[in-house]
Amino acid sequence: MSQLDDIQRAAQEQFGRQSHRYGRGHILENIEDVRAAIDPLDLKPGMKALDVATGGGHTGIYLASLGCDVTLADIAEPMLQRAAAAADALGYKVKTELHAAENMPYAHSCFDIVTCRVAPHHFSSPEAFIAETARVLAPGGWFVLIDGTVEDGQLEAEEWAHQLEKLRDPSHNRLLTPGQWTRLCKSNGLNVTRTVVTPFKQPDLQWYFETAATPLANRVRVRELIANAPDSARRLFRLGEENGKIVWWWQRLTLVARKQTI
Ligand SMILES: C[S@@+](CC[C@H](N)C(=O)[O-])C[C@H]1O[C@@H](n2cnc3c(N)ncnc32)[C@H](O)[C@@H]1O
């Protein structure tokens, strides 16, 4: 793997340590969002698929279940090992590759689909990630991005969410808006065919802390941020309490794009 920058190294350490949290039982095991994005693309068995920042492998394993020839990639080796074991337990053969999303070790135009779910907010360079995605996709190939977002024009709420996420998990980098992702895709020859923002429940602040092993001092500061959240964030993320648990609804972007054919 090429040399990592500070943000990439922080993510590698964080997810290497916490890999056991992202498999069975994690909320990302529910792949309704993945199905909704991928099923309309009518993928054919044998198509070559790359799942970037695969984590527990939930998205890549779904691609394998459709008969795709799947490569699972991640920056953290323990994640790759667990994702490969999860695929193996279900009877799917997948390849694994250890690399950063911003620097991919593949030839030009060698994948029919690239997916990346709930990870790009950790990337140190979304620009490099999109440029690499466009490079490794074959003409006509699909790109499916699913990630937390904040709708365009909500600067105060975005800054609040940024502070909260950074305290909860210092390897968090930045949430991009649908408009920012769309512009990046367009400038790299990826034609955006669909963007949709849907609410995604954060069901329990305590669970959210434990998943990231958030330091105790940061947990206190996150609780303060929530208690003092501006109205814009309170409304946008529907901050609330259910059965004694602090809950909210992140905004989740699904973006589908297709690489230009000429
Ligand atoms: C929340 S998990 C991803 C979940 C997974 N994609 C799914 O569908 O369930 C985030 C993953 O991003 C990986 N990651 C973070 N920064 C990365 C980077 N710059 N390049 C590659 N992987 C990265 C982490 O190691 C971690 O496995």
Q: What band does 125 get if pLDDT is binned at 50, 70 and 90?
A: very high
Q: If you average pLDDT over residues 238-259, what whole number do you get?
A: 96
Q: If you average pLDDT over residues 209-218, what whole number do you get?
A: 92
Q: Which tokens hold the place of 235? A: 């409304």
Q: How far apart are CA 67 and CA 61, in angstroms?
A: 10
Using the atom order of ligand 1, give the atom closest to the CA of residue 76.
Answer: 25
Using the atom order of ligand 1, give the atom closest to the CA of residue 54.
Answer: 6
Residue 127 makes CB contacts below 8 A (sequence gap 6+) with: 184
79 C-beta closer than 6 A to ligand 1? yes
How many A from CA of 228 to the centre of ligand 1? 30
145 C-beta closer than 6 A to ligand 1? no
Q: How far apart are CA 73 and CA 97, in angstroms?
A: 5
Q: Cα dihedral sign for 147, 149, 152, 155?
A: negative
Domain 6-154+171-201+250-259: state its class.
alpha beta
Q: Strand 240-242 relative to strand 137-149: parallel, antiparallel, unpaired?
A: unpaired
How much of the chain, in percent, has pLDDT values that exceed 90?
Answer: 85
CB 167 within 8 A of CB 221: yes
Q: How far apart are CA 222 and CA 12, in angstroms?
A: 23
Q: Which tokens hold the place of 74? A: 């991640």
Using the atom order of ligand 1, give the atom closest to the CA of residue 60.
Answer: 8
Q: What is the mean pLDDT of the chain?
A: 94
Helix (H) / strand (E) containing 192: strand 190-202
Q: pLDDT tens digits, residue range 36-58?
A: 999 999 899 999 999 999 999 99
Taking the model in full, what pTM does it have?
A: 0.92
